[in-house]
Amino acid sequence: MAIALKRIYDKASRGDGTRVLVDRLWPRGISKETARLDVWLKNVAPSDELRRWFHSHPDQWTEFRARYLEELSSPAAQPALEQLHGLAARGDLTLLFASKRTELNNASVLKELLEGMRKPPVSTGAQRGAVAARARRRPQ
């Protein structure tokens, strides 16, 4: 199993395997035919709030990654994350993203998770409350 990262704007190739878009928003200027997607998993993408925060704080990769992993541990993300793990277990997989930042983006975090074939722990209500309290105390 090989997991590749590719901008959705790059040409599809035979070696891509299963092509999965991991962004919440459809990329501008790309038709569904051009994208040649197998699956679009919106629910493994960062929330709109987190995406906007990272866009305005691009130098805070470590913080973005921590917040994103927390989002991935939520029960709402679990079905899509399970689906992504299933696709990765079947063979070659290409995670598609629109970001111009080819190294530091949500797809790279997902690739790390898949290569380790480990899932973020599912948070409990108490953990989510503690995380929310920490997030309110974080400097913006």
Predicted structure pTM score: 0.80
Q: What is the pLDDT of residue 116?
A: 81
Any idea what the Cα angle at residue 13 is, between residues 39 and 15, rounded to 5°? 85
Q: What is the DSSP string of 40-77?
A: E-GGGSPPHHHHHHHHH-TT-HHHHHHHHHHHHTSTTT
Residues linked to residue 93 through DSSP beta bridges, in sequence order: 3, 18
- pLDDT tens digits, residue range 19-70? 999 999 999 999 988 999 999 999 999 999 999 999 999 999 999 999 999 9
Cα–Cα distance for residue pair 124/129, rounded to 1 Å: 9
Q: What is the pLDDT of residue 128?
A: 45
- Region of 36 please: left (phi>0), alpha (psi -120 to 50) or beta: left
Average predicted confidence (pLDDT) for the chain: 86
Question: pLDDT band at residue 122, thresholds of 50, 70 and 90?
Answer: low
Residues linked to residue 40 through DSSP beta bridges, in sequence order: 21
